[in-house]
Amino acid sequence: MIKINSLKKLYGDRTVLDIPELEISKGEHIILIGHNGSGKSTLLKILAGTEKQTEGEVLTKGQIYYLPQQSIPFNKSVKSNILYCLEGKRKDKRELCEKMLDAFNLKQLESKNAKTLSGGECQRLALARVLCKKGDIILLDEPSSAAYSKGRELINKLISDYCEKTGCTLVMTTHTGEYPKLNKLRIIELCDGKIISDTREVEDYDA
Amino acid sequence: MLLSMDGEILQIIGVTLRMSFFSTTISCLIGMPLGVIMTSSSFRGKRTIRKIINTLMGLPPVVAGLIVYLLFTKYGPLGSFGMLFTVEVMVVAQCLLITPVVISLTSGVCSVNGKSLLETAKGLSFGKIKTMRLFLSQNRIALSSVMLTAFGRSIAEVGAVSIVGGNIQWKTRVMTTAIMLETNKGNFEFALALGIVLLIISFAVNILASLLTREGEE
């Protein structure tokens, strides 16, 4: 599903990412951890195709949806923000939009302009815009960094529900140490652009 | 003279508004999407194109007028259209002058938060048209100023329109060319009356734009 070979990213002379090899199979859920500047966001940007690598090869298969760290709220109502991201028949779009508003606890804000939302609300909306789509690979860059603890719990639950329902491959960064409860969980730690640990969690949350 | 609004003044105002409206609309329809492309896409030769646009921004109106004149003159490549000394060809000359300004200003407006917005749009797998619509709607308040600037440039322009329009009475005479002519004739009263009308129109457009902007912000 995702295959990386001899990947290098340089900003000037500084190497920010150096991954000789990494393979992520279909349905795996990857949590990227590491301190600020370790290369987590850069790796996601390269996987999403919004940034180009300096050297190496990145192969991906399937539809990718990516939530950047600074996802911009569209200058529309909260409801229109979600509707704008949906495709298909108007009736289906409206139904799905209502479900998303309820699930993401945004129903009471639906007519508010998204530009006026708080940081946490904005992040929930940004995540809703991504998770209203059905993707094969979901890339989330710090999806709950601006949320308070209950908000983080909600976001993590929504992510795990989505992954369970769609069977997608997830690559998500976090610096809080909190992440969704998922099967096929793999935690990769980056330091100065290099992978320093890669562990598969054995815990089975279905059990 | 202003209060009585004789037929000729009304006709001149009508031609001026018609010309400015069409040249602003056409320039914005062409220039705004191109301005977004200049911000949101990376392609070969982008720097060169940007340099050309910046150069065209400073294109002297008389040179633009001369180019359009040579294109539409009887033996010119577009002479068969027989459009020289019409309002339509004045619109063409104005578009040549205004479109680079619109492209450059739109590109500047869209580059604020442009990278993050582009990343957001790409992350959601938006196509090119949807991304363009997003950039335009996201910056609609700032883009109304771009439109105003274009209109201001169009209504105040004199060099190009006098070359290609010919300043023909009851046909292609606009406020600026009429002011120039009447001043040369020493008919300052008429020139001043037109000048006041020009100022009132510019003021009205400004008020309208600021009302729209405020409404958008609210």
Report ipTM (2 d.p.). 0.88
Q: Do A34 and A40 meet the contact criterion of CB atoms below 8 Å apart?
A: yes
Taking CB atoms and an 8 Å limit, are B124 and A133 in contact across chains? yes
What pLDDT, in 10s, does the model give residues B183-216? Answer: 999 999 888 888 988 899 888 888 877 776 665 5
Residues 6+ apart with CB under 8 A from A56: A4, A5, A6, A7, A8, A19
**How many cross-chain Cβ pairs, A to B, lie less than 8 Å apart?**
50
Residues of A in contact with B124 (CB under 8 A): 65-66, 85, 129-130, 133
The overall average pLDDT reported for chain B is 90
According to CATH, the topology of domain B17-172 is MetI-like fold (1.10.3720)
Query: How far apart are the CA of A190 and the nearest CA of chain B, in angstroms?
Result: 23
Taking CB atoms and an 8 Å limit, are A65 and B120 in contact across chains? no
Taking CB atoms and an 8 Å limit, are B138 and A75 in contact across chains? yes
Smallest CA-to-CA distance from A143 within A40, A16, A26, A37 is with A40
Q: Report the distance separating Cα B47 and Cα B45, nearest Å.
A: 6
Q: Do A32 and A45 meet the contact criterion of CB atoms below 8 Å apart?
A: no
Is pLDDT above 60 for A204? no
Q: Do A200 and A27 meet the contact criterion of CB atoms below 8 Å apart?
A: no
Among partner residues B120, B125, B140, which is closest to A72 by beta-carbon distance?
Answer: B120
For B210, list phi and psi in degrees, rounded to 5.
Answer: -70, -30
Q: Model confidence at A207, in pLDDT bands (50, 70, 90)?
A: very low
Residues of A in contact with B119 (CB under 8 A): 45, 48, 50, 66, 68, 70-71
Q: Report the distance separating Cα B145 and Cα B132, nearest Å.
A: 18
A94, β-bridge pairs: none
Q: How far is CA B12 from CA B6, B15, B90, B193, in A?
A: 10, 5, 14, 12
Report which residue type is found at B56: L
Average pLDDT rounded to a whole number, residues A114-118: 92
Which residue in chain A is spatially nearest to B136 when comparing CA positions? A75
Q: Model confidence at A52, in pLDDT bands (50, 70, 90)?
A: very high
Burial profile A127-143: b = 16 or more Cβ within 10 angstroms, e = fewer: bbbbbbbebbbbbbbbb
Smallest CA-to-CA distance from B100 within B69, B58, B44 is with B58
Q: Report the distance separating Cα B24 and Cα B31, nearest Å.
A: 10
Which residue in chain B is spatially nearest to A72 when comparing CA positions? B117
Report which residue type is found at A69: Q
Question: pTM of the full predicted structure?
Answer: 0.81
